[in-house]
Amino acid sequence: MNIKITGTGSYIPNTVEKNENFHQHEFLNSDGSTIEHANEVIVEKFKAITGIDERRYAKGHLTSSDLGFFAAEKAIADANIDPETIDYIIVAHNFGDVKTNTIQSDLLPCLASRVKHSLRIKNPKCVAYDILFGCPGWIEGVIQAQAFIKAGMAKRCLVIGSETLSRVVDKHDRDSMIYSDGAGATIIEAVNEEGGILTHETASFTYDEAYYLYFGNSNKQELCRDTRYIKMHGRKIYEFALNNVPNAMKTCLDNSGFSIDDVKKIFIHQANEKMDEAIIKRFYRLYKTNAPEHIMPMSINKLGNSSVATVPTLFDLVKNNKLKNHSLSKGDVIIFASVGAGMHINAIVYKY
């Protein structure tokens, strides 16, 4: 028996927020001072660094659990299974359900329970819980699902990554342009087929790095100081990712028994185009070779950074031939990898 992804689904919101829509924003430095450059220059520099042209925002009446439910429906249909046979529903997110124009996260009940309710699953032995693991949450959820199955505690799991980051950003912070909304879902189960999850690697760096991403005040000093927004130390995160993610990927690949030449695709968290490119370049440098063309699918230019949703959404797009120059064939060795708040990193080597 091997543990495989047998179904995928994603929900990409319809509302497109283009870079030029930020030209009228009031961007400020963290101390509240005015940025000397015009917004057009700020946005142009942002595009050069992140690769983002546009991002997607969820419609106002939808929450993160709604997006997760939509993606889950597609994954269940793709796997052609009865939802009543799902043993675990694991939902990765960061901020729960944040309703439009509110400042409070709603986590009661957990998002997994909400998704299970929306799926109308009656089976009480279908256990639903959330995982808070930063951007690597979906990959960690897959690792947990595999553990449940290997331990004989489950045969089939639904793992979802969903987020509405557009509702927790400080509009006066340039970093707000990075974030977006979306959801990706996968069915993980034991099957009598070749391939599946081969190896995995996870690490949490908290001694100095725990607060590289954090909740903080708006850059606009006169706004309510009790309201918090997602904030990050971008340069520290960049350096941390380059120093640690390639090593985790290498450990994972070496433990799989496959070589660097066997790898066909790398699905990496869509955090920042330049950072992701640098991670892949450094990963291949560990093997004293160069990354081949089209090894790394990218969706950040059109979809932005939707945190836990980026990797499963990207995988679903490639699997369904919806991303130019990228496809998968049976037997392909691929790598999933992510880095995010905590600071956590993880990776999976998978045979498609």
Express each pLDDT in 290-329 by its tens digit.
999 999 999 999 999 999 999 999 999 999 999 988 999 9
| Contact between 324 and 313 (Cβ < 8 Å) | no
Domain 198-351 has CATH 3.40.47.10: yes
User: For residues 163 and 93, is the Cβ–Cβ distance under 8 A?
Assistant: yes
Q: Is the dihedral of CA 228, 229, 230, 236 positive or negative?
A: negative
Q: Which residues of the chain have pLDDT under 70?
A: none
Superfamily of domain 2-193: Thiolase/Chalcone synthase (3.40.47.10)
The count of C-alpha atoms lying within 13 angstroms of the C-alpha of 71, restricted to the half-sphere facing its C-beta, is 38
pLDDT, tens digit (0-9, with 9 covering 90-100), for 240-291: 999 999 999 999 999 999 999 999 999 999 999 999 999 999 999 999 999 9
CATH 3.40.47.10 residue spans of the chain: 2-193, 198-351
Predicted TM-score of the model (pTM): 0.94
